Amino acid sequence: MFTGLFDDAALFPPGNAPLDEAIPAHRSLRARFGDLVGPFVTPASRLPQLLAYAVEDAPLDLALIAAPDELASALRAADRPGLRVAAVEIPVQSTAPDARDTVKILDDVLPPDVPAYVELAWHARHVVEVLAGTRYRAKLRTGGLRADLFPAPAALADAMAACAARDVAFKCTAGLHHAIRHTDPATGFEHHGFLNVLLAAAALGDGESVVIAEGHLEADYGPGIAAAVRALSPAQATEARRLFTSFGTCSVLEPIADLTVLGLLPDPAEPDPAEPDPTHADRSAA
């Protein structure tokens, strides 16, 4: 359900972690939480600094943000022992011609096993049409440092439905700090919850209407949302994650902590019941 859902965007607001803290923290998160944690999100401009942290026997998976015209050089710069491009993210493409040019560049320079995401402007939903039928995905902005960067539930549901109707997978970026829709007490901004997005994706994958998806995005009762997530069948969960691939978060710990509180992930501080208890084994031997 949650494998690879949390892309590590520690370098970005509001976290803005310095690189010398973000890289060791990312390695620690991967060691602690395994494949729950996705790649380390970085702009191409930070690649020269990243080289100092490249470890050949423990490659750093990157989600590389690059403009179309700098993508080829960015991929060459990232082609170093200890770095591995796991995904590419292209900034906002507002017009269909720009999006078509971007797709051509991706076709020319991107390895076939590397996914790419093209960010959609909210007024440029037609770009989804350009991505339809390609192997490329959409990127939806779900928040930021200003209130106007948070789309209303209806707008987000419409964008998700446009992607689902054209079989275009998407990731989200910014604003999904917690599992459940909520109001940030510091800013007053209404934040979407990533479980709300997951349930909306599951509904759209099931053929439900955009109105149903919007209802999932508007819900704010945590126990009810957690119960709905538990009730998803394996097929529904698989389809939801095929559509909603991941989201960038400046704090991977926050969403994982939310899932733990909601009972959707085991408490990492508690022993795994599937693992043998070494203390018990010692007593048995004695």
CA Rg value for the chain: 20
Helix runs in 219-277, H state only:
222-230, 234-243, 253-261
Q: Region 177-185: what's the mean pLDDT?
A: 96
Q: What is the pLDDT of residue 117?
A: 98
**Phi and psi based region of residue 62 (left: phi greater than 0; alpha: psi -120 to 50; beta: remaining):** beta
The overall average pLDDT reported for the chain is: 92
Q: How confident is the model at residue 125 (pLDDT cuts 50, 70, 90)?
A: confident
Query: Do the Cβ atoms of 44 and 66 come closer than 8 Å?
Result: yes
Specify the pTM. 0.92
What CA–CA distance (Å, rounded) separates 97 from 75? 23
Query: Burial, 57: exposed, middle or buried (Cβ in 10 Å; 0-12, 13-18, 19+)?
Result: exposed
Please report, as a single letter, which amino acid is at residue 58: A
Domains of the chain: 6-285 (3.20.20)
Please report, as a single letter, which amino acid is at residue 8: D
Q: What is the pLDDT of residue 267?
A: 86
Q: Region 114-142: what's the mean pLDDT?
A: 92
Predicted confidence (pLDDT) per residue in 54-103, tens digit:
999 999 999 999 999 999 999 999 999 999 999 999 999 989 999 999 99
How many other β-carbons are positioned within 10 Å of the β-carbon of residue 44?
A: 20
Element spanning 84, H or E: strand 83-93
